[in-house]
Amino acid sequence: MNRIRLLSEQVANQIAAGEVVERPASVVKELVENSLDAGARKISVEIGAGGRSLIRVTDDGIGMSRDDALLCLERHATSKIQRAEDLSSISTLGFRGEALPSIASVSRFILTTRERESASPEGTQIIVNGGSIAEVKAAGSATGTSLEVRQLFYNLPARRKFLRTEETEAAHIQHYLTLAALAFPEVAFTFQKDGRPIWQLPAVPSERAVSSRVVALRERLRALLGEEKMLPVNFCTALGDGLKTEETDIFETASSEPPEVLDAAGSQLRVWGLIGSPGVSRATRESQFVFVNRRPVENRGIHYALIEGYHNSLMKGRYPVCCLFFEIDPAAVDVNIHPSKREVKFHREFEIRKFTAQAVRDSLLAFHSEPLRTPPAAPPATQAANDLKSATEAFALPLPNFPERAIPSSAPLIPGAAAVPLKTDFGASFPPPPKSVPPPPILPGAAPLPAPASAAPLLNVPLRLVGVIGKLYVLLESDRGLVLLDQHAAHERILFEQMLHRIESGGAAPSQKLLLPETLELPPRDAQFLREQLLVLTRLGVGLSEFGERTFLLDALPPFVKVGDARRFVLDLVDELKAAGREVNLARLGEHTIAKTVCRHAVKANDPLGGAELENLVEDLRRCAMPYTCPHGRPTLIEMNYRELEKKFGRTQ
Ligand code: ADP
Ligand code: MG
């Protein structure tokens, strides 16, 4: 007797649904993606009971004819690809032709659609229950498509049991919608939960140039997640021979070549978007939004690259905040490795990771070193420029006029105070920031993107000293409000950069011989670990040498390190370096990590500093490449502008 038979269409669909439709949020994702693929300019999403009782997605996209509406419920029916070759260059969000039949097979489903092009006011409505078509009829409707999914999994009790609470399911839906709304600021989104409106996001139109899209993204981000200090990112590179790049000005080419469109060779990679300013971080990865060709994705490599890029401007255990878009030749990325396309695989994973880390790092560096672009004097003509203008005006504060080069040498910290060098033990002269680091192998987005006024680098505006509290926090005043400086963190940053600069320019960090060298014995494992770091430690001014199998001789220290208990110091160093090593996953720790650790032992907190010394501290900080955080990522400066003060004092809403 034959035992093998073909499954019915309905069972096959339910099996496919098992993969595609994991939970209500998957339904919302598939439906919204279809609306976006259909060119919708407005999408409304309504849910009831966390999506269990109702999901309705309505769009004003191209709609479907009656025939198409019937066909779209068949498995493997899609308008998005035709041939297998198309799989290697997918530019739509969907392509499998599986979503609608799968969803329809596990719910009570009503599709109402009318073609955008059609002259007739009549559309089509199809009612499907658990995969079988119950009714097909003509129905009056607006152009576009509306999909109603009720009683999800009503015919799959096992699946239904796995659903979490309504709140959890609703949170998943809201998370997906956040991603979609960030990827498509030009589309208006509304979201209703159990009859209550949650969002009303107006469309934020933008031009194709990256600068304009960043302005739109910032606007959308603010509408969704509130105010956050974010820096623009915009880099492109030619993928291929390592990270070699050609000189192109993306702002020049942006109008003729829209950013989503890649060059003929298809080997260009662009990353653009917004990342948190130094000091902005979160306890989880939840605020990292990453998109590849506008598709929200998870990619571990990119997550690591972000942390790598922030390097010493991120606190331990904290995560960067970002909204980053990768535009890459669809052929260079495989989106067909995950049933709901959440994960992607890059063909050149390593290059992309390296490029991302560098782009993040350079954007952070540019924040401090690039002069601010003043908004154009002439009234902006384009919509995007208007957006930029209103975004700038949204900050009610009277803003200082930023000069082209904004380092206020003409605006001393304390007028009239004589410049007395701050004792950093490196002498008074602090070389200019290490610009001699090898030129980045990637193309910076030619001109820096305009930063909104609130993100204007703090150290680029004149600061006046007000006083010091708690022997640690320096109070400063700017035209924008109050600035607090952590004296110790600032000093650590300065020492750290000075140290690295010395090493990068071929020298060794300063070191002072100890009057009484000390021998110390370490446990065998620590001794072995320390032995591997000796060379770098010595270059950084910590004179340690082997003095027996487990015994070391400490005979020199950087002048700014004052050690009461040498053994303690070395053991602390070993512990800290080991912990750091686990994190960065390096066999041999880099100079940066070691310098960072050594600087932690700088004594500076609680040292009373005079006015002139404080002036120098701020000046030295201004000369740092990454002045806004200490080497461990803690902020050196905190700003509370007048707007925030007014809010706190209840003067404004
Ligand atoms: P896929 O998106 O992978 O093509 P789906 O099952 O999600 O597969 O959709 C099947 C087809 O139905 C799509 O290719 C598209 O042509 C059509 N379709 C689905 N949703 C819409 C919509 N909201 N507006 C217009 N057409 C749609
Ligand atoms: Mg689809």
Of 352, 507, 515, the C-alpha closest to 426 is 507
Cβ-contact 367, 378 below 8 angstroms: no
Amino acid 45: pLDDT: 98
Q: State which residues of the chain have pLDDT below 50.
A: 241-265, 372-453, 585-588
What residue owns the CA closest to ligand 1's atom 23?
A: 35
The per-residue pLDDT for 411 is 33
Alpha carbon distance 193, 196 (integer Å): 5
Residue 59 beta carbon below 6 angstroms from any ligand 1 atom: yes
Distance from residue 632's CA to the centre of ligand 2 (Å): 45
How many other CB atoms are there within 10 angstroms of residue 477's CB atom?
Answer: 13
Ligand of minimum distance to the alpha carbon of 95: 1
Q: CA–CA separation, 29 vs 49, rounded Å?
A: 17
pLDDT, one tens digit per residue, over 20-60 is: 788 999 999 999 999 999 999 999 999 999 999 999 999 99
Distance 96 CA to ligand 1 centre (A): 9
CA of 32 to the centre of ligand 2 (A): 8
Closest Cα to atom 8 of ligand 1: 97
Provide the 8-state DSSP code for 635: B
* 3-class SS of residue 321: coil
Instruction: Please give the distance, rounded to the nearest whole angstrom, from the Cα atom of residue 197 to the centre of ligand 1.
Output: 27
Residue having the nearest C-alpha atom to atom 21 of ligand 1: 34
SS3 label, residue 28: helix
Residue with CA nearest ligand 1 atom 18: 34
With a 6 Å cutoff on the Cβ, whether 146 touches ligand 1 is no
| CB of 38 closer than 6 angstroms to any ligand 1 atom | yes
What ligand is nearest to the CA atom of residue 63? Answer: 1
507 Cα–ligand 2 center, Å = 60
- Rounded Cα–Cα distance for residues 70 and 79 (Å): 13
Q: What's the pLDDT score for residue 339?
A: 67
User: What are 258-294's pLDDT values in tens digits?
Assistant: 344 434 345 678 999 999 988 788 888 888 999 998 9
Helices (H), 38-88: 66-71
Closest atom of ligand 1 to CA, residue 96: 3
pLDDT score, position 581: 64
What's the pLDDT at 589? 60
**Distance in angstroms (rounded) separating the CA atoms of residues 260 and 184:** 13
Of 30, 37, 56, which is best to mutate to test ligand 1, by the most ligand atoms within 8 angstroms of its C-beta?
A: 37
Q: Which of 295, 320, 323, 291 is nearest to 308 (CA)?
A: 320
Write out 127-144 in H/E/C secondary structure.
Answer: EEECCEEEEEEEEECCCE
Q: What is the pLDDT of residue 454?
A: 52
- Tens of pLDDT, residue by residue over 61-80, are 999 999 999 999 988 778 87
Show the 3-state SS of 337-369: CCCCCCECEECCHHHHHHHHHHHHHHHHHHHHH
Q: Whose CA is nearest to atom 13 of ligand 1?
A: 78
Per-residue pLDDT, 394 = 28
Give me the pLDDT at residue 351, please.
Answer: 86
Cα of 33 from ligand 1 centre, angstroms: 9
For residue 147, the ligand closest to its alpha carbon is: 1
What is the residue with the minimal CA distance to atom 2 of ligand 1? 94
Q: What is the reported pLDDT for 258?
A: 39
pTM: 0.69
Q: Whose CA is nearest to atom 9 of ligand 1?
A: 97
